[in-house]
Amino acid sequence: METEGRLVEYVCGATYADLPPSVLEVVKNQVLTVLGTTIAGAEAEGCMPLVNLYKELGGKGEATVLIHGGKVPAQAAALLNGVMARALDFCDALAPGAHIGSSVVPAAFAAMELAGGCSGKEFLAAVAVGTEVGVRMNLTESTYDGFDPTGVCVVFAAAAAAARILRLDQGQTWNALALAFNKCGGSFQSNVDGSLAVRVIQGWVAGSGVECARFAGSGITGPKNFLEGVYGYFHLFGKDRLDPRAAMTDLGTRYELQKVLFKKYPSCGLTQGCTDVILGLIAEQEIDATAIDRIEVTVPPYTYKLVGHPLTLGENPKVNAQFSIAYCVANAMVRKSSKLPHFEESSIRDPAVLGLAEKVRVIPDPALEARGHTPLDMRVFTVGGKEYARGIDIAPGFPGRPLKQEEHEERFRDCVRFSGKAPGVEKIDAVVRTVRSLEEMEDGRALIPLMLA
């Protein structure tokens, strides 16, 4: 139980004062990102039916449903806010596919209201600790092998953040994390099939984090050996390929959360590179979409399995487009940009984009795995016989190619402009100012009224 004990000790013992400026910058960008994507996704498909359902179910009004208003039980608020935050797939993420902020931030908000408030410093520390836990529990592409990383490793992150804000002691926190282990699940088939389950899994994780912390605070126990046990996390999900103790090395002094990526474009993280490459070629070579004969994109097998399949619109065109290299390349080629409105169904069904998407061929090549998580090689062939080629190893927004600070704020405002149910201009400006100075807030709940339309 050494690994479990080390993790619990960190979750309970880390303080705001321990966080270096570079970590605080990531956490603040994470909070701003999630608030922005929640605004943009508030009325996305599937969100309003869930909001209405939970309001009809009723229960004790403990925490706020952001944007729409009204209070529901805390775990339900976390779930709903998590679903909205993930709905447009523009939130922060982590290779090879975990989305941490869209569960940790909603869980922290719900726990904060449940606890009767907490300072901005406490809130930032909880989000930082939760995110760090999620990154440390993250596995590899081969060990996930089709499990949705968000459903597997992020539930620990949400539970850790909630446990911090609810001020659980070490024994209760141990049980909260152990209970979270029993909540791990979710499949990437949801993404491949373009289902709304992608965003629902995000919400389940957020709600489960709050639920596990509440259960533990009420005396419910979980398996003590939830990490190193014979049927623990690193056996069942890690497949005995990873060293549990190595995952906790320098915990509290070295921050892995700086691996979190922030998307430049509103689609799956594994489509960021292809979008960026085609936009770069267009700018340099002035290639016209009507001149394209075919486009070949070579990617690692993991990328191919998630986003390399031929585009089929199915029941949820938006989700299919978000998780399609073919669509993202064709959209960027035709519109010379990649923005949130381009992933609305009316835009997706544009014959010019769909016709070009049919000319995009995605090729899996295991040799690219040696170049990292997001490498790709692209070849563009024109009907006139010209060929253009470009490759990248690191997609924009990933570690090694971080976004500029102004790009973070511009993405937030893009989300606001896209939303049909955004708070007023004065509230939006106040959200940006407040997030940038969260550590000065006596009570983090002051953010909540600013997030109501």
- What's the domain count of the chain? 2
Q: Are residues 212 and 289 in the same domain?
A: no
DSSP 305-357: HHH-SPP---S-HHHHHHT-HHHHHHHHHHHSS--GGGGSHHHHT-HHHHHHH
Tens digit of pLDDT for each residue in 32-49?
Answer: 999 999 999 999 999 999
Q: Are residues 65 and 103 in the same domain?
A: yes
Q: What is the CATH number of the domain that holds 78?
A: 1.10.4100.10
Q: What is the CATH number of the domain that holds 361?
A: 3.30.1330.120
Q: Are residues 116 and 218 in the same domain?
A: yes
In terms of C-beta distances under 8 Å and separation of at least 24 residues, what long-range contacts does 226-233 make, across chains too?
226/4, 226/177, 226/178, 226/181, 227/3, 227/4, 227/7, 227/181, 228/1, 228/2, 228/3, 228/4, 232/181, 233/137, 233/181, 233/184
Dihedral pair phi/psi, residue 435, rounded to 5°: -65, -40
3-state secondary structure of 260: coil
Q: Are residues 102 and 239 in the same domain?
A: yes
pLDDT(1) > 90: no
- The verdict on whether omega for the bond into residue 20 sits within 30 degrees of 0, i.e. cis, is no
pLDDT(226) > 90: yes
Residue 314: the pLDDT is 86
Q: How far apart are CA 51 and CA 60, in angstroms?
A: 15
Tens digit of pLDDT for each residue in 232-244?
Answer: 999 999 999 999 9
Q: Are residues 429 and 377 in the same domain?
A: no
Q: Are residues 286 and 347 in the same domain?
A: yes
Residue 37: the pLDDT is 98
Pairing of strands 63-64, 387-392: unpaired
**DSSP class of 249:** T
* Assigned domain for 397 exists: no
Pairing of strands 360-364, 292-299: parallel
pLDDT(376) > 90: yes
Q: Are residues 120 and 189 in the same domain?
A: yes
pLDDT(184) > 90: yes
- What is the residue-averaged pLDDT of the chain? 97
Q: Tell me which residue range forms the domain holding 277.
A: 269-392
DSSP 391-435: EESS-TTSTTSPPPHHHHHHHHHHHHHH-SSPPPHHHHHHHHHHH
Q: Are residues 303 and 443 in the same domain?
A: no
Cβ-contact 109, 77 below 8 angstroms:
yes
Q: Are residues 61 and 188 in the same domain?
A: yes
3-state secondary structure of 276: helix
31: confidence class by pLDDT, cuts 50, 70, 90: very high
Cβ-contact 414, 37 below 8 angstroms:
no
Q: Are residues 418 and 314 in the same domain?
A: no
Distance of CA 271 to the CA centre of its chain: 14
Dihedral pair phi/psi, residue 444, rounded to 5°: -65, -15
Tens digit of pLDDT for each residue in 204-225?
Answer: 999 999 999 999 999 999 999 9
Q: Are residues 275 and 424 in the same domain?
A: no
Dihedral pair phi/psi, residue 334, rounded to 5°: -75, -45
Of 346, 367, 392, the one marking the end of a domain is: 392
* Assigned domain for 283 exists: yes
Per-residue pLDDT, averaged over 437-448, amounts to 97
Tens digit of pLDDT for each residue in 270-328?
Answer: 999 999 999 999 999 989 999 999 999 999 999 999 999 999 998 889 999 999 999 99
Question: Taking the CB of residue 449, how many other CB atoms lie within 10 A of it?
Answer: 12
Q: What percent of the chain clears pLDDT 70, i.e. is strictly above it?
A: 100
Q: Are residues 11 and 160 in the same domain?
A: yes
- Locate 164 and state its tokens: 């911090």
* Assigned domain for 398 exists: no
